[in-house]
Amino acid sequence: MNHFLSTEDVSRQDLTDLLDDADSFVEVLARPIPKVPALRGKTVATMFFEPSTRTKLSFEKAAKALSADTMSFSPGTSALKKGESLKDTVLTVQAMGTDAMVVRHQATGAPWRIAEWVDQPVLNAGDGAHQHPTQALLDALTIRQRFGTLDGVRIGIVGDIRHSRVARSDVFAFSTLGAEVTMVGPRTLLPIAAEDWPASATEDLDHVISELDVVYLLRVQAERGGASVFPSLSEYTKRFGMTRERFARLKPDSVVLHPGPMNRGVEIAAEVADDERSLILKQVSNGVAVRMAVLFRLMGGEHSE
Amino acid sequence: MDPGDIDRALTRIAHEILERNRGAEDVVLVGIHTRGAPLAKRLAAAIETIEGETMPTGILDIGLYRDDLDTRPKTELGRTAVPEIDGATVVLVDDVLYTGRTIRAALDALADLGRPARVQLAALVDRGHRELPIRPDYVGKNLPTAPGERVTVHVVEIDGHDGVVIETGGT
């Protein structure tokens, strides 16, 4: 593995190895001194061409917990404003002596282009509506901690699958790890070629809800056109929201995940979000551990292939 | 070393640990991942037989503390689980003592977990060729070797049998 760009081309063994390493980093992060010297002297550049709070902070915390230095980049204040091309920007950053780049970009495929230009590992922190592979890893880790495995676990991903990079990354990662994945949403928000995805699809949440071990609620993404394809937010909540009534119909050991940021009262009721079976904050803390695992895998030690 | 030799060496080290520390109080055995961990457990069992006291044991993975991460093949990370070590005497346990770099890394790792009163080192085999000013307090067997040779300790818990193998040549 030279880059970490997508969950579509990662083997079950590689995913499992990364989750195993992430378990070790969970333990590191619980220590009195939650820091190890593994990447001392290395520099990680976080290049977020699109706004982000949690993913950027999470990657920076992960790099620092491995003793790497971080350099960050925000488009609002950069030379991009002066018309510098993407390629010139990344080559400039590389020339300053970085050892890996974490990239988020609004354009699908941008991290792949960057990976061709630079001679260091590139980590995709979200490209357009395409992939967000470290999110899928942290979701998988959270589910594995709860159930011990993903093999045979029934996971429903609910909401705007079509415009969600989280959903795409999750579906492929979960199914590679052996989970039974169901995509739930209005037809307008299910993938266009849903039959090509390793998951089943339904428009009826109430029909499947009592069989699910994990209900993964996606954020209603107004900024990606999500709100224009269903009549109203209250209509969405009525059919696909995790209301208190639906939550009561879940199996007693089922859990709720959400990638954040949440729209309380839309896709998730406030009481559900704060319930102990909602693992949303666990996901956030696991995010640091899985990003440490990926950084360590790509930057620590020589590449075996 | 055959299984009997290993048993006898561990029993002797158990006695030495008790003698040096005037008993088992405030002593923690920490095995270095991978094969130090079962050896630490066996030392604890031997000490329990002798003294009737259970000595706490732990396991320390030093994979994230190595100074040769850039040049050695990647291995899976192990788990670290070390009991309270503040103010205790920690006996680090490893299978083979060689350059001393593993122990250097283990000392750094321990320092991040707490502040032991003192740290001692037990090795089943000391094969020499130290590259750092590190020496063992307890040794099962001194085994003079050439740098090109490989010394491998097998333990029942991991390898299915006990033994020490010296291979010549190779890398």
Helices (H), chain A: 12-29, 54-65, 86-95, 110-117, 133-147, 165-176, 205-208, 233-240, 244-249, 270-273, 280-299
Which residue has better confidence, B148 or A206?
A206
CATH 1.10.3720.10 fits domain B3-70+77-167: no
How does pLDDT run across A134-186, given as a tens digit for each residue? 999 999 999 999 999 999 999 999 999 999 999 999 999 999 999 999 999 99
Q: Annotated catalytic residue: which of A54, A64, A154, A277?
A: A54
Q: Which helix (H) or strand (E) holds B7?
A: helix B3-20
Name the residue ranges covered by the structural domains of chain A: 12-131+284-299, 133-279
Determine contact: A38 vs chain B, CB below 8 A: yes
Among A215-219, B13-17, B133-137, B143-147, the range scoring the smallest mean pLDDT is B143-147
CB contact under 8 A, A37 and B108: yes
Task: List residues bridging with A100 in a β-sheet.
Answer: A44
**Scanning every residue of chain B, which has its alpha carbon at the shortest distance from the alpha carbon of A30?**
B113
Task: Calculate what percentage of chain A has a pLDDT beyond 70.
Answer: 94
Comparing CA positions, the residue from B76, B123, B83, B81 lying closest to residue B102 is B123
Give pLDDT tens digits for A76-131: 766 676 778 999 999 999 999 999 999 999 999 999 999 999 999 999 999 999 99
Rounded to two decimals, the ipTM of the complex is 0.83
Superfamily of domain A133-279: Aspartate/ornithine carbamoyltransferase (3.40.50.1370)
Confidence of residue A225 (pLDDT cuts 50, 70, 90): low
Q: What is the pTM of this model?
A: 0.91
Contact B142/B124 with Cβ under 8 angstroms? no
> In this predicted model, which residue has the larger pLDDT, A35 or A305?
A35
Q: List pLDDT tens digits, range B53-86.
A: 999 999 999 999 988 877 766 677 888 999 999 9
H-helix or E-strand containing B104?
helix B101-113
Handedness of CA B42, B46, B47, B53 (dihedral sign): positive
pLDDT band for position A305 (cuts 50, 70, 90): very low
Chain A residues closer than 8 Å to B63 by CB? 38
Cβ distance of A28 and B76 shorter than 8 Å: no
Shortest distance, CA B140 to any CA of chain A (angstroms): 31
Q: Tell me: pLDDT of A304 over 50.
A: no
Q: Is there a contact between A36 and B105 (Cβ–Cβ < 8 Å)?
A: no
Per the listing, tokens 């266009």 go with: A192
Second CATH level (architecture) for the domain A12-131+284-299:
3-Layer(aba) Sandwich (3.40)
A12-131+284-299 with A133-279: one CATH topology?
yes
